[in-house]
Chain A
Amino acid sequence: MSDELVLEMRGIRKEFPGVVANDDVSIQLRRGEVHALLGENGAGKSTLMNILYGLYRPDAGEIRLNGKPVTFGSASDAIEAGIGMVHQHFMLIPVMTVAENVVLGTEPVKDGLLLDEAAAERRVADMAKTFNFAVQPGALVEEIGVGQQQRVEIMKALYRNADILILDEPTAVLTPQEASDLFEILRTLRREGISIIFISHKLKEVLEIADRITVLRRGKTIETVPREGATEESLARAMVGREVLLRVEKQPAQTGDVLLEVEDLHVTDDRGIEKVRGVSFQVRAGEIVGIAGVDGNGQTELIEALSGLRRAERGLIRVGGRELHHATTRDVLDAGLGHIPEDRQRRGLVLEFSLAENIALHDYATPPDSKWGWLFPGRLVERARRLIKEFDVRGGGPFTPAGALSGGNQQKLVAAREIDRDPKALIAAQPTRGLDVGAIEYLHRRLVSERDEGRAILLVSLELDEILSLSDRILVIYEGEIVGEHTGAVSEEQIGFEMVGVGRKVPA
């Protein structure tokens, strides 16, 4: 990294109707640095980057590229000037090869007309080698993993000679292993003199990869600090504007009766492959049991079977002592199981429904919400008002469509609905995925306090940190089997080993 500035955004202001998204924001990017842009959802990170990428025009302020002032009327101006952006949602064509996707729009041509497939693949292969990308230029994009697709996006930008690369929450879609591969690539790019803006709200990864960190809060620049000396606590404080408890404080569990019980459960997925293979466990009142595991080891099928969304092949499920055999979702709900689903937008909420309607999703068919099939919207709204207040859901009222809320507030809404039903047992699947520090803190504290209320809580998460800090007991799932159980202190390494199948119990 040199001290040479490649990019300077100064005094940027951008206003939307009713919201000042950026207010006098400034950021300086040096050549060959990874510069993290840190902030909660809605802090103005995306707006700032969309301005840089030519998608929005700022109301005030200036952008200097290599010392010269520039204005971008569109993304193509920005690309022309050497800025590349990798969005959270990839913009690739699945049925085309890696090479075709990379060269799309600037294809090498032979005979003045035809796509020179060989040249395209050669160039992409060269580039992959230079930057150590490990992708097959001839592979179809739909057949490669998410981490590889992301590399294709990065290569697309580099192919257009980007020397400034914007990555919008790149790790949100990655597994921990893929994320560390990505960081390796970013280090290579940095050595090659590429400057990287890394948008994130995850403190750990920012401290791992960034050279400098700029924190935004409510549209304003709070500070730019070097990584040295910065801590998770100091960054969280700058991000949220107050002290944040990163560690969850909790008393030892006071356990009671078994409220959720699973015995020898077998579940197959849609393709008929057995994903849960003889799982048994119990969750008692007043404890949080965490299920740790790498994505795709049967967690989804386990949760779906527990909540009645998928029929188990074999095995027993008991909620509050009631045996549920081939139960429907309705039966499970009535037995007293709450469920915060892993995908709040696909499963947990009807985004087009108002908050009031979403809160009624389980209980619309019973009094007081309705009687004899007649719905009482006024009562839905009343309950929504109460829960919005109690769970501090911000960004809308009872009539706001749920899709208009930020992720954290959507999750609070789901939690509010599930907890307000006073469930005996609560499944929390990936409860804080994609959420910012403030919302995570809130949800963690809430889960602990619900535990203390005497609920049995089953926490399923891919974030090992979350499992470790919340759980009273930890189960490790690997290839559909529980391969480890831990109470009390256990090292991250030990669980990490078990998660990938090392130290697996040999069946007797």
Chain B
Amino acid sequence: MSEPRHDLVESPEQAAQTGTLAARISLSQRAGGIAVPVATVVLAFLLGGLVVLATGHNPLDAYHDIFNGAGLNWFFHPTTSTQGAAGYNLSQTLLQTTTLILTGLAVAFAFRCGMFNIGGQGQYFVGLVVANWLGVNFAGMSLLPHAVLAIVGATLAGAVWAGIAGVLKATTGAHEVISTIMLNWIAYYMASWLFGAGGPLQTSDPTRSTVPISNDVANSAQLPVIWGTHGFQGLDIGFLIAIAALVVFWALINRTTLGYEVRAVGFNPDAAAYGGINVKKNLIRAMTISGAFAGLAGAVDMLGYLYHYGTLDVLVSQVGFIGIAVALLGRNTAVGTFLGALLFGGLLYGTTQGLSSDVIQPELATNLTWIIQGLVVLFIGADLLILYVWNSRRRLRPRRPGQAPAKATA
């Protein structure tokens, strides 16, 4: 046996000496590394596959076609052309990914401060609405200022919307889960009314006065396309904005005093207060920043490729909620959120695209995404249970002297 190591990997005895349950969980999560999220995804896909199997189809074929439908086969034949199906599909997957990165970050940031922001969906709606309003009006502006105005406006609106929940928590102790859910409904009905027939943001085209859809944002507010064709849902610079947001998230959390405070409050508010950190201020600030990410998601969707929005779109939109699964799967880190967003972006798009009914039942196709999303949230929720079982198994396994220590990291 080598001499005792003093690094991050602690013996079960040392781990057991650690005080609080939360501390022990946190330590074992570090030890668990990416094993748990990977296992979660594998398990979710296995169970999703069983559902496919139950409908009399081969799950491997189904997953293969979803993979291709998401354009991920592009990586085997890379080309910059979007004429080919693979390239086009991939660009569409990345459009979805863009949104999910941002709604994922909206959940992840609040999590780092110990709060569960379920309100990403509402904050996203608020962002959409404000981006549409700013993008439709002020049409006389030139491209860059107009788009920037709409993006900044929508981002601030999302921030304010989430900030309400933060202020309520800091001042009255109202739980952010409850208040963000309520704010979701307010945003939902507000957006339905605004875009609906007779609503203030409904189209001004007199021939479509009964259609519950908004005007298109002006050309000057539409974001440039970087891959594909403008007007045919090419991939716009929103994707790069989302990537930049990931970098900003990482730097904020890990390299600024703001992130230090947010994390300290998230882990242990008592110790943070003792350290001189204003806990209430940080709760409000973290919620606000979270909402900014979701509002930005609304802006890049509206200005990047949607251009308009309708009451029916409000009805079916789920991207804010998928953001929860993305963040949980990504362990509230920047890289994890990117990977989670890519996974769900691929699923979202891949299940809608030209899947043959020989391969998967059409009704099941889109629902497969929700099934897998649901399973992921369920399993991550059961994360603690999995870790517990894992650790007790490890604790009981007899170990011979000299045997190489089994590392839990994958």
Listed in ascending order, the chain A residues whose CB lies under 8 Å from chain B are 13, 15-21, 41-42, 46-47, 55-57, 59, 307, 309, 328-330, 333, 339, 341, 345-353, 357, 360-362, 364-365, 370, 373-375, 377, 394-397, 399-401, 403-404, 406-407
* CA of A339 to CA of B13, assembled, Å: 30
* B17 touches which of A328, A350, A407 (Cβ 8 Å): A407
Q: Verify B23–A403 contact, CB threshold 8 A.
A: yes
The answer to whether the Cβ of B26 comes within 8 Å of any Cβ in the partner chain is yes
Closest 8 CB pairs of A and B: A17-B405, A16-B11, A361-B275, A351-B23, A403-B23, A345-B19, A330-B276, A403-B18
Q: Verify A375–B276 contact, CB threshold 8 A.
A: no
> Which among B2, B14, B256 has the greatest number of chain A C-beta atoms within 10 A?
B14
Min CB distance A13 to B, Å, is 7
Q: Verify A374–B255 contact, CB threshold 8 A.
A: yes
* B257 touches which of A41, A333, A347, A364 (Cβ 8 Å): A364
Q: Verify A351–B274 contact, CB threshold 8 A.
A: no
A-side contacts of B274, CB under 8 Å: 307, 309, 329, 339, 341, 347-348, 361
* A351 touches which of B256, B267, B272 (Cβ 8 Å): B267
A-side contacts of B19, CB under 8 Å: 345, 351, 403
The answer to whether A406 and B17 touch (CB under 8 A), given A15-B399, A18-B405, is: yes
Min CB distance B54 to A, Å, is 38
Q: Verify B275–A362 contact, CB threshold 8 A.
A: yes
* CA of A20 to CA of B261, assembled, Å: 39
Min CB distance A306 to B, Å, is 12
A-side contacts of B260, CB under 8 Å: 357, 360, 364, 375
Min CB distance B29 to A, Å, is 9
Q: Verify A13–B263 contact, CB threshold 8 A.
A: no
Q: Verify A17–B271 contact, CB threshold 8 A.
A: no
Q: Verify B395–A55 contact, CB threshold 8 A.
A: yes
> Could you name 7 residue pairs across A and B whose Cβ atoms are closer than 8 Å?
A18-B9, A19-B4, A56-B396, A348-B274, A351-B22, A374-B255, A375-B257
The answer to whether A19 and B13 touch (CB under 8 A), given A329-B274, A330-B276, A350-B271, is: yes
* B263 touches which of A353, A374, A395, A403 (Cβ 8 Å): A353
Q: Which residue of B lies closest to A396 (CB)?
A: B6
* CA of A467 to CA of B15, assembled, Å: 32
Q: Which residue of A lies closest to B260 (CB)?
A: A364
**B131-156 vs A, Cβ < 8 Å mask (1 yes, 0 no):** 00000000000000000000000000
Min CB distance B17 to A, Å, is 6
The answer to whether the Cβ of B226 comes within 8 Å of any Cβ in the partner chain is no
The answer to whether the Cβ of B16 comes within 8 Å of any Cβ in the partner chain is yes
Q: Verify A352–B267 contact, CB threshold 8 A.
A: yes
**B260-272 vs A, Cβ < 8 Å mask (1 yes, 0 no):** 1101100110111
* CA of A333 to CA of B275, assembled, Å: 9
Q: Verify A404–B275 contact, CB threshold 8 A.
A: no
B-side contacts of A396, CB under 8 Å: 6-7
A-side contacts of B270, CB under 8 Å: 346-347
Q: Verify B276–A351 contact, CB threshold 8 A.
A: no
* CA of A394 to CA of B7, assembled, Å: 11
* CA of A19 to CA of B270, assembled, Å: 33
Q: Verify A375–B15 contact, CB threshold 8 A.
A: no
Size class of the contact patch on chain B: 35 or more
B-side contacts of A21, CB under 8 Å: 11, 13
Q: Is the interface of A mostly helix, strand, loop or mixed?
A: loop
B-side contacts of A406, CB under 8 Å: 14, 17
Min CB distance A172 to B, Å, is 12
Q: Which residue of B lies closest to A341 (CB)?
A: B274
* A400 touches which of B6, B23, B263 (Cβ 8 Å): B6
B-side contacts of A17, CB under 8 Å: 9, 11, 399, 405-406
A-side contacts of B27, CB under 8 Å: 352, 401, 403-404
Min CB distance B33 to A, Å, is 14
The answer to whether the Cβ of B12 comes within 8 Å of any Cβ in the partner chain is yes
Q: Verify B30–A347 contact, CB threshold 8 A.
A: no
* CA of A352 to CA of B22, assembled, Å: 9
Min CB distance B3 to A, Å, is 8
The answer to whether the Cβ of B231 comes within 8 Å of any Cβ in the partner chain is no
The answer to whether the Cβ of B77 comes within 8 Å of any Cβ in the partner chain is no
A-side contacts of B10, CB under 8 Å: 404
**B231-270 vs A, Cβ < 8 Å mask (1 yes, 0 no):** 0000000000000000000000011111111011001101
Min CB distance B353 to A, Å, is 42
* CA of A349 to CA of B27, assembled, Å: 15
Listed in ascending order, the chain B residues whose CB lies under 8 Å from chain A are 1-2, 4-20, 22-24, 26-27, 30, 254-261, 263-264, 267-268, 270-276, 278, 395-396, 398-401, 405-406
Q: Which residue of B lies closest to A346 (CB)?
A: B270
Q: Verify A400–B7 contact, CB threshold 8 A.
A: yes
The answer to whether A362 and B276 touch (CB under 8 A), given A47-B13, A59-B400, A346-B271, is: yes
* CA of A57 to CA of B398, assembled, Å: 6
* B11 touches which of A18, A57, A341 (Cβ 8 Å): A18
The answer to whether A401 and B276 touch (CB under 8 A), given A15-B1, A47-B13, is: no
The answer to whether A18 and B1 touch (CB under 8 A), given A42-B13, A59-B401, A407-B17, is: yes
A-side contacts of B398, CB under 8 Å: 57, 59
B-side contacts of A346, CB under 8 Å: 20, 268, 270-271
B-side contacts of A47, CB under 8 Å: 13
* CA of A46 to CA of B16, assembled, Å: 10
Q: Verify B7–A373 contact, CB threshold 8 A.
A: no
The answer to whether A361 and B17 touch (CB under 8 A), given A18-B405, A352-B23, A399-B8, is: no
A-side contacts of B26, CB under 8 Å: 351-352, 401, 403
Q: Verify A16–B12 contact, CB threshold 8 A.
A: yes
Q: Verify B257–A365 contact, CB threshold 8 A.
A: yes
A-side contacts of B24, CB under 8 Å: 403
Q: Verify B264–A361 contact, CB threshold 8 A.
A: yes
Q: Which residue of B lies closest to A57 (CB)?
A: B398
Q: Verify A328–B276 contact, CB threshold 8 A.
A: yes
Min CB distance A173 to B, Å, is 13
B-side contacts of A329, CB under 8 Å: 273-276
Q: Which residue of A lies closest to B272 (CB)?
A: A350
* CA of A309 to CA of B269, assembled, Å: 12
Q: Verify B267–A353 contact, CB threshold 8 A.
A: yes
* CA of A349 to CA of B272, assembled, Å: 9
Q: Verify A333–B5 contact, CB threshold 8 A.
A: no
Apart from the given pairs A16-B11, A19-B14, A59-B401, 10 other A-B contacts in the complex at a CB distance below 8 Å:
A59-B399, A346-B271, A349-B271, A364-B260, A374-B255, A375-B260, A401-B27, A403-B26, A403-B27, A404-B10
B-side contacts of A394, CB under 8 Å: 6
Min CB distance B347 to A, Å, is 32
Q: Which residue of B lies closest to A56 (CB)?
A: B395
Q: Which residue of A lies closest to B263 (CB)?
A: A353
* CA of A63 to CA of B406, assembled, Å: 27
Q: Verify A333–B276 contact, CB threshold 8 A.
A: yes
Min CB distance B399 to A, Å, is 6
Min CB distance B262 to A, Å, is 12
B-side contacts of A397, CB under 8 Å: 6-7
The answer to whether A57 and B396 touch (CB under 8 A), given A47-B13, A329-B274, is: yes
B-side contacts of A328, CB under 8 Å: 276, 278
A-side contacts of B399, CB under 8 Å: 15-17, 59
Q: Which residue of A lies closest to B3 (CB)?
A: A18
Min CB distance A436 to B, Å, is 12
Q: Which residue of A lies closest to B264 (CB)?
A: A350
The answer to whether A19 and B16 touch (CB under 8 A), given A329-B274, A350-B271, A352-B26, is: no
* CA of A356 to CA of B234, assembled, Å: 46
B-side contacts of A361, CB under 8 Å: 264, 271, 274-276
Min CB distance A213 to B, Å, is 22
B-side contacts of A353, CB under 8 Å: 263-264, 267
Q: Verify B268–A351 contact, CB threshold 8 A.
A: yes
Min CB distance A222 to B, Å, is 19
